[in-house]
Homo-oligomer: A and B are copies of this chain.
Amino acid sequence: MKPLLVILMGSQADRKQADAVAEAARPMGMDVKMHIGSAHKTATHVLNLLKMYESDPRPKVYVTIAGRSNALSGFTDGAVISPVIACPPIPEKFGGADIFSSLSMPSGIAPAVVLDPANAALLAAKIFALSDPDIREAVKEFQDSARQKILDDDTALNVEG
């Protein structure tokens, strides 16, 4: 039984960011489910989805993806016991100030903010790895390979130069 990553988008427009999370998550050994739901417009729909997943016995992490003012991440975090990772698209307007709608949370609302979608998947893997030896091994391999890539790049640079 693989652990479950539930990716929740605020709208269809966030699909690309959600796919980037999913593509990084699946090879590390998670099942991935994706949903679209707006905390602003379809709050009840989102609450129903969350209730359904919370009753699923598998270990779960939620990744919430919402541009502009991100209500979805805090809304989700307040409704579930499982951890929530807020992974909003990097905002272009107003010097990127929308990121603070993911960060400035009230007491008792604690989504983990991670900017890069592949890093969001990695954080989810690190969380599942606490109790899942296969995912622990996958994280280890991922990190080793990232380190080796740098060592190889350094070697290549100095052979070349």
A positions within 8 Å CB-CB of B: 3, 10-12, 15, 33-45, 47, 59-61, 67-71, 74-75, 77-79, 81-85, 90-91, 93-116, 118-120, 122-123, 126-131, 136, 139-140, 142-143, 146-147, 150-151, 153-154, 157-158, 161
A129 pairs with B81, CB closer than 8 A = yes
Among B59, B78, B126, the residue within 8 A (CB) of A40 is B78
Question: Roughly how many angstroms separate A85 CA and B83 CA in the complex, as a whole number?
Answer: 12
Given the interface contacts A81-B143, A104-B101, A115-B103, does A109 sit within 8 Å of B41 by beta carbon? yes
Q: How many copies does the complex hold?
A: 8
B38 pairs with A150, CB closer than 8 A = yes
B108 pairs with A104, CB closer than 8 A = no
Among B37, B39, B85, B94, the residue within 8 A (CB) of A95 is B94
Residue among A69, A85, A118, A123 with the highest chain B CB neighbour number at 10 A? A69
Given the interface contacts A41-B108, A109-B41, does A103 sit within 8 Å of B69 by beta carbon? yes
Question: Roughly how many angstroms separate A83 CA and B111 CA in the complex, as a whole number?
Answer: 14
B130 pairs with A69, CB closer than 8 A = no
Complex interface: chain B residues within 8 A of A34 (CB) = 157-158, 161
A100 pairs with B69, CB closer than 8 A = yes
